[in-house]
Chain A
């Protein structure tokens, strides 16, 4: 049983928490004011404090004051309204744990136990007397040590395998020669091929071709998938929003909305297009005309693709063989750059970019356009 100092301005809170702590087997020293709590603590020496944060009692100040007087005692704060930022502020101020409302015996028990375990230093003048150990104990200890050693070795092997897998770069030759773009639909990587006017869905494992879709009326150059639609761009700059069905049925067409397109990406609210000739990023509102809301200078050499990773935009610079990262607020100033050493030889020209949630994928045509195109799955963390 541990003595817990309880500081709560309101009588109702104090009684409620005292009852719960009592049921958990703690002796409670309640107080309504800081001075009273400090006085009681000097006399009764509790092992922890529990404070109630509220308008009438600023727990941050109280925590600092209590810790100033009793620096080794853990302070647990009970919030009256759930506020994660406030909880983090209180922990930064020194609170060992913060209990969220509604206060339950389970939460209170977990937080008080955690506070008692993690905070404070145990001080003792003499160590405990050594225990006599039987041969069985030593045999068991040796067995545990051996098992732990094997476990550590096994875990290291697993970790090394995971690290090797993350660093691995996979490359495959594709049965096409004129790739124009790449997109990821959540399951498969979609290759856009302008020469055959086709989309190829590639398995992310081998990657064999699973589905082929021909768009005989247009020459596709880029695509992007959203939750319910797929956006495509044709060579004449026309953007088409399509259903994600077997025939990629067109839903809406936006003529010349994305001229000289090197790619497009959807950030959940706006559609972004990358103009290869003008070297600009355009931010479109998804309305009837796909209105351009803003145009940003793209500071690279040769734009070849764009993708949204859930937080920021990435563009593919085929000239400097690198990826540029852009914030949604100021996309004209790249915030990071990742080189693509796979293209260092210069015999391939990257032309499409996709992101599968953990890795980048790029597709490249051979410089002479006579050899097959190459699909590359890049390392989880590209070398810099």
Chain B
């Protein structure tokens, strides 16, 4: 596993029915199958969130389902996300490969 120098900022959007304001957080782990997100927003297990971030020059907006969510020691929420869009997952996998190949 390669660690980036900084954590990735992420824009969080919620599906129309959720009627929630956009929010933000940081991706502290990213794989082609999912991510670990740290945010000040409350996330609950099972909900869907659209995660926008940039990786290796690629802008990605991937819907993810919250597989697990728990508060961390600082009072923020850490959420385990599973990407639910196959095409975006493949784009992310390509971006990850590109970044790993260059690191």
Q: Do A and B come from one complex?
A: yes
Residues of A bordering B, CB below 8 Å: 82, 84-85, 87-88, 91-92, 98-100, 106-107, 109-111, 113-114, 117-118, 310-312, 325, 335-336, 338, 357-358, 380-382
Which residue of chain A has the shortest Cβ distance to B7 in the bound complex?
A118
CB-CB contacts below 8 Å: B57-85 with A: 63, 73-76, 84-85
- List 29 interface pairs A-B (beta carbons < 8 Å), by A numbering: A82-B21, A84-B12, A84-B13, A84-B24, A87-B9, A88-B9, A88-B52, A91-B24, A92-B54, A98-B24, A99-B40, A100-B23, A100-B40, A107-B40, A109-B74, A110-B40, A110-B74, A113-B73, A113-B75, A114-B38, A114-B76, A118-B7, A311-B63, A312-B87, A325-B87, A338-B86, A358-B84, A380-B86, A382-B86
Which B residues touch A310, using CB under 8 A?
Answer: 63
Pick the contact of B9: A92, A358, A380 (CB < 8 A): A92
Whether B87 pairs with A111 at a CB distance below 8 angstroms is no
- Smallest beta-carbon distance B60→chain A, Å: 13
CB-CB nearest 4 A-B residue pairs: A91-B9, A84-B22, A110-B75, A87-B24
Pick the contact of B74: A84, A114, A311, A381 (CB < 8 A): A114
In this complex, how many residues of chain B approach chain A with their Cβ under 8 Å: the count is: 25
Flag B1-23 by CB within 8 Å of A: 1 or 0 each.
00000010111110000000111
Q: What is the bound-complex CA distance between A49 and B69, given in angstroms?
A: 29
Q: What is the bound-complex CA distance between A322 and B76, given in angstroms?
A: 44
- Smallest beta-carbon distance A328→chain B, Å: 14
Whether B75 pairs with A85 at a CB distance below 8 angstroms is no
Which B residues touch A91, using CB under 8 A?
Answer: 9, 24, 26
Which B residues touch A312, using CB under 8 A?
Answer: 87
Which B residues touch A117, using CB under 8 A?
Answer: 74
Flag B40-52 by CB within 8 Å of A: 1 or 0 each.
1000000000001
Which residue of chain A has the shortest Cβ distance to B89 in the bound complex?
A381
Whether B85 pairs with A311 at a CB distance below 8 angstroms is yes
- Smallest beta-carbon distance B91→chain A, Å: 10
Most buried by B among A84, A100, A117: A84
Further 11 A-B residue pairs, CB within 8 A, beyond A312-B87, A381-B86: A82-B21, A100-B40, A106-B75, A107-B40, A109-B74, A110-B40, A110-B74, A110-B75, A114-B76, A118-B7, A380-B86
Given known A110-B74, A114-B74, A117-B74, contact A84–B84 (CB-CB < 8 A): no
Whether B9 pairs with A113 at a CB distance below 8 angstroms is no
Q: What is the bound-complex CA distance between A338 and B87, given in angstroms?
A: 10
